[in-house]
Structure 1
Amino acid sequence: MILDKVVTNGVALDVPAHMSVGQTFLDKVREYVNIAVGLKNLGVKPGDVVAVCGDSRSEYIAAAMGAVCCGAIATFINCLMLAPPVVVFIAKSPLVEKYDTSSVEGIWCGAAPLSEQTMEQLRRRMPNFKKLIEGYGMTETTMGVLKCIDEIEAKRGLRPIPGVKVKIVDCETREKLGPNEKGEVCVKGPHSAVADCGVVGKPDEVAGELPTAFVVLKPRATVTESDILDFTATKLSPIARLRGGVIFLNEIPKSPSGKILRRLLKQKLLERD
């Protein structure tokens, strides 16, 4: 029986007051059992591996526990997506030594290059570590601009991912520059009607924030909000889609160095509400 796999307790959970939700451990167990029954009806059998992808919220725990309750295997993590400071911490901190990291085979990392010393320390600490994928990007693209798939390739430089074009232009004239010339990195994605964009979080009582895009169209472009939403929906996971909508602007506010001023975009959101 599924219920035999869990221990029940009627004591109330300590739930943050701002959630305005009251639950007991027994309530949570019922959630686990309902999910377990649903997975069983879908054909999940004891020994199957179930992958659960979601936010850091109670529903994620319920889904994971439901999978365990129906006999599915809770597998170890074999790939990590980390920022450089976290990679350095894992490579050097003595606190990590008490944990089993033997399942980790690959790491995705962006924002800054990793030193050879850090990589060597990672290999010693993670016996099955095989591949590092480094990437370059920005808030709107994460690592979706340039990447390399191994350390040898990283020494030669990162390459644009499929569907992305990258060039260096003069900051004043906007003319394309050649190798070893100093300028601004310009990235072009696959949508031919978008000249520029910026994404910020729109406050939401349930989700916390919803991705909202401010878009500058190219001259004579006739793209609508629905067009942008449909286009991005085919390329993003549900949680990353523009659930906060699309707002068209004539210009994205930027600092003198070219960095998007997201505080001004958020201010525009508040003014619209």
Structure 2
Amino acid sequence: MEYCPEKDHDLPDVDLYSPLSLTTETTVLHAEAADPTNSINKAQARTITKRIAHVFRTEFGIGRNGPGKDVVLCMSANQVLLPTVFFAIIGAGGVFAAASTALTVMELVKQIRQSHTQVIVTCPENKDKALKAAQQCGIPATKVLVLESMGHKRLLRNTVNPAQNYLQRESELQWDRITDRATLENTLICLLYSSGTTGPPKGVMLSHMNLVSEAVIPQLVLRESRVGKPHLDVPYSTIGHLPTAHIAGCQGYFVTPAVAGGPVYWMSRFNVDQFMDYCKKYQITFLSTAPPVYQAIADSPRVTDHFTSLIRAESGAAPLSPEIQERAEKKLGCAMSQRWGLTETTGSVTTLPWGQTDNTGSISPVLPNVRLRMVDEDVKDVAQGMEGELLVKGPMVSPGYFENPEATAGAYTPDGWFKTGDVGVLKDGLIYIVDRKKELIKYKGLQVSPVEVEAFLLTHDGVSDVAVIGVADPAAPGNELPRAYVVKKQGKSVSEEELKEYVKANLARHKQLRGGVVFIQEIPKNGSGKILRRILRDQAKAESATRQAKL
């Protein structure tokens, strides 16, 4: 059975540069949270974007042979001019690829090679890492650029000739306007890396239509006037605290502000106390973040009048318990909406319409223009009210994984439905997540692929076999900690601390074995050799329950 929203919207056939209806030329779009005088408005953003696009085209050949072919990888901490680099890459005809600043050199090398990156843009803190990875991939240092735009700096320089500042160039590139629907749907402009439902990270391909629809539709839900219902008509402002290598930061801070019509106040590093103070100082009206931040707000004795201006609070990336939601709402002074989606859906495909509330733990109803199915193991629709894997279709759903037809075929049905890996049930028009088929571990809203960590641990001389699962974090409900179950090689001696240090030295921070290492005699597997993670998860839950009972 196909479930539909209350209504759909007619989406405009426009590229990423066009849907700027709620802004004026003087609207400030980006500012530094620590110093808001360091800011750019819409007109300035357009000029800087065109100048950087000209540099990418003329100096580095990005887009010279047509759009959607040349990849520029960006690995940077949050900063004011980062959105102009994003738009400039796409405006030049290139593909923006994002890499997390948490990646190690080894992980970064893999992503550079997978994406066929030609140019790298980074920040001063990550310059050395970028140069080491570039060298291993055969990218010359002249194609590693360093962007600095906090503290009123305006610098974009290559690492060979730092005296040359590309932001001082005045030549501009006029980008092509696109109105053809097929071109908007099929032109690759953005690559974000996700593990999907399992496996190592893969490049999720996003188009103009994906990003535009994800920006426009939620705003229509909030701001469209309905008969008998109030509509949202307040200035937009938010805090840029999430990393832009992930869909929430990329979509939420690069694209949405231009559509919603207000500024992002950028934090280069996240600090929860500073974050709360900035929300008060700048009278933030919109807040979208992950459950750990809402838990910190709920638990903080510092929160008094920090969120009096807030009119919309949204939670995503991981489940938010009704208990934490209730406590957070008291501190925030407004109702919260849980949104659900993935990188493959360009972010959220569900949200609560303006004026509605829900405290039952649902992930809200589907957005306009989205279609939902719930299916069994044979991808056949289950009866209404029964549990099933959630499948979605819509203009924001990615066409698939970059140069990975096998992974794409495994994640999509032949008629184009994306298999989310989440198991849910529909009750009274609201969707509830009850389980998940996918094996991903969610640590503070970030994805951890157990397959990736397992593959790395198997390179250790003392490991014969291994399985990695997520175990419940006792300090943060809904958060998971990676745990490795390890079979030692015969005759080899290896300790928990040794394996933890091995991972720490080579994998990103969110992939660390915070859930511990457990040595066992055999990894449970089925007849075809697939790891039976559910057995290990059930075992971990039983052990946790036993410990709690003893306490």
Q: TM-score, normalised by structure 2?
A: 0.24
Considering Cα pairs closer than 8 Å and 6+ residues apart, tell me whether 1 or 2 has the greater RCO.
2
Q: TM-score, normalised by structure 1?
A: 0.45
